[in-house]
Amino acid sequence: MSEARIGISMNVLKDCLGLAGGELLAVVADDDKRDLAESVYEAGKRLGAESMLLVMQPRSRSGEEPPAPVAEAMAKADVAVCITTHSMTHTAARKQAAAAGTRVATMPGITDDMFSHGAITADYGQVKALTEQVAALLSAGSRVRVEKEGMVLSFSIDGRDGILSTGLYLNPGESGNLPSGEAYIAPLEGTASGQIKVDGSVAGIGALDGPMVLTVEDGRLIHAGGEHGGKLLDMLGDGDGRLLGEFGIGTNNKARITGVVLEDEKVYGTIHVAFGSNNTFGGVVAAGVHIDAVVMKPDVYIDDKLIMLAGELL
């Protein structure tokens, strides 16, 4: 077990989650991420927390629920850190833990490299300030239009609230990804139409060699062109997994495109769309799957006002 990794884990637990001595820490892992999780478990013990390590079999896809005893432990902990292959961010277990007052950080797909480089090294005070500004724009807006290379995707966000993932989860019930830096929102179901060129990465596929063109009608993904389009459709299934569930904007200037969407969707200069579940952050889709797709340097309009030009926030 790397002492350097334990040291970084201690900093993350203290600075990002405010873990204090005597608090109950639940570290949730699957078999594939157990090694990284053990460093966080050890870091929690060194900080004087009552630390638990819960290891489960890997889930088959992002958004799939953990076993009930894991969900129960998360809800009873002061702090829960989920270090898993597939994302637990958009699960009822994460939502219920936050509702019970647990401070939750999810780290889907995190690698040894990501523990010490890139997004994790950001100034999270800066990230928080920018994320709050972007979330406020989303909350105040009613319609989004994304343009890139002649393709346009538009949808309503009327009445929906922008959500912050700042990397700082210091108060009861606060939760989000680590590393972090994004503001996101649940588009109004059924309102999205157009095309979008995905050229960054896709969760479950990785960094893209060539672009993927996604076609959306009446809020539903009807075609995915490009080398990996078929795989994306297979992962989403034939049901509600194909509904547009999320629109997000990256706000972390230290984040890199790594092929792991946890970091990729936080890259400053990118936006991402996701298909599937959004009932954990203001929408009504509960599909048991949530797949993000990252777009590099688009133009973004909110209510016809340009807020991002070729990836630069204005």
Are the C-beta atoms of residues 273 and 213 closer than 8 Å to each other? no
pLDDT at 282 over 90: yes
- pLDDT class of 131 with cuts at 50, 70, 90: very high
Secondary structure string (H, E, C) spanning 7-74: HHHHHHHHHCCCCCCCCEEEEEEEHHHHHHHHHHHHHHHHCCCEEEEEEECCCCCCCCCCCHHHHHHH
What's the pLDDT at 186? Answer: 98
Which position has the higher pLDDT, 125 or 38?
38
Q: Rounded to 5 degrees, what are φ and ψ at 163?
A: -110, 140
What's the pLDDT at 175? Answer: 93
pLDDT at 248 over 80: yes
Query: Of 262, 293, 299, 258, whose CA–CA distance to 113 is shortest?
Result: 258
User: Letter for the amino acid at 101?
Assistant: G
Neighbouring C-beta atoms of residue 128, cutoff 10 Å: 19
Pairing of strands 244-250, 270-276: antiparallel
What's the pLDDT at 121? Answer: 87
pLDDT tens digits for range 257-278: 999 998 999 999 999 999 999 9
What's the pLDDT at 37? Answer: 97
What's the pLDDT at 250? Answer: 98
Q: Which domains does the chain have, with CATH numbers?
A: 3-116 (3.40.1830.10), 120-313 (no CATH)
Instruction: Give me 45's structure tokens.
Output: 């013990």
Percent of the chain at pLDDT > 70 equals: 100
What's the pLDDT at 1? Answer: 76
Query: Of 170, 179, 178, whose CA–CA distance to 19 is shortest?
Result: 170
Give the mean model confidence (pLDDT) for residues 122-147. 96
Which position has the higher pLDDT, 90 or 195?
195
pLDDT tens digits for range 70-94: 999 999 999 999 999 999 998 999 9
Give the mean model confidence (pLDDT) for residues 117-140. 94
DSSP state of 86: S
Helices (H) and strands (E) in the chain, counts: 7, 20
Average pLDDT along the chain: 96
pLDDT at 116 over 90: no
pLDDT tens digits for range 1-27: 789 899 999 999 999 999 999 999 999
Which residue matches tokens 């629920």?
65
- pLDDT class of 115 with cuts at 50, 70, 90: confident
pLDDT tens digits for range 147-162: 999 999 999 999 999 9
* Rg for the chain, CA atoms, rounded: 18
Give the mean model confidence (pLDDT) for residues 213-236. 97
- pLDDT class of 31 with cuts at 50, 70, 90: very high
**Nearest-5° Cα angle at 268, 193 to 181:** 95
**What number of residues does the chain have?**
314
Q: How far apart are CA 184 and CA 274, in angstroms?
A: 10
Instruction: Give me 83's structure tokens.
Output: 């270090």
Q: Rounded to 5 degrees, what are φ and ψ at 253?
A: -80, -5
Secondary structure string (H, E, C) spanning 97-134: HHHCCCEEEECCCCCCHHHCCHHHHCCHHHHHHHHHHH
Which residue matches tokens 């588009």?
187
Distances (CA, A) of 120 to 23, 34, 59, 126, 255: 23, 19, 25, 13, 8
Q: How far apart are CA 244 and CA 265, in angstroms?
A: 16
